Amino acid sequence: MRILIVAATVAEIRPLLQRLTFIGSEGEFLQHYEFQIHSIDLLVTGVGMSHTAFHLGKQLSRQHYDLALNAGIAGAYSAKTHIGTVYQVNAEVFGLVGVEDEENYLSLFDLGLQDPDAFPYESGWLVNRKPPVSAVLNKLPVARGVTVNLIYTHKETIETLKGLYKADLESMEGASFFYACLSEAVPFIEIRSVSNYVAERDKSQWNVPLAIQNLDKTLDHLLKELSQVNLSL
């Protein structure tokens, strides 16, 4: 298989790189590797929707992939979620893209500027209807993600996000990844490991090393499974 791994930062997938065979670099953002029988391209886009959309769209337009994999850390909305839990994200939404109307928020869909059911959207969401059939993925809890451009710390805004989307996780790239893969008909997976809670900013409560460690274990198991069986894509 030819696999594209997409990450916002190298730090989030650095442990994995130690087990891949480096082949070469192509520009600042793209590196080529091999893992057992697979050719793997690593695209490090930088943080945020725009960086991810541009670099991923550019890469998918020039190279066909059998599978795209977005891997990284995320914040969790529920305090019941354990830090370090790894999720498979099956739906994404662009958070708070629209206008404020006094105390109300109106999305582009509410304003009639965009059809919430026009491809690739489904009721305003981007949904992964056909993830690979995988024993590793089946063991992961499934989550819905909100993608934001700003990490919110005010309680009122966080409560607005929770109320509007009823999502589980927050990242800054997921929806852009979904949009590009759905648009280009590339089979894809998003895997996120929880490093913190979406709350008032207190980094003493974060555990990024644990999140990266658990993410790496999942990626290792998944790539090994991909090498042993033909997954249904």
H or E element that contains 158: helix 155-165
H or E element that contains 15: helix 14-17
Residue 231 above 60 pLDDT? no
Residue 105 above 90 pLDDT? no
pLDDT on residue 136: 94
Cβ contact 175:147 at 8 Å: yes
More confident residue, 229 or 72: 72
pLDDT on residue 152: 79
Interval 45-71: pLDDT, tens: 999 999 999 999 999 999 999 999 999
The domains located in the chain, with CATH, are 2-228 (3.40.50.1580)
Beta strands 30-35 and 38-44 are: antiparallel
Reported as a pLDDT band with limits 50, 70 and 90, residue 174 is: very high
Is the pTM above the cut of 0.85?
A: yes
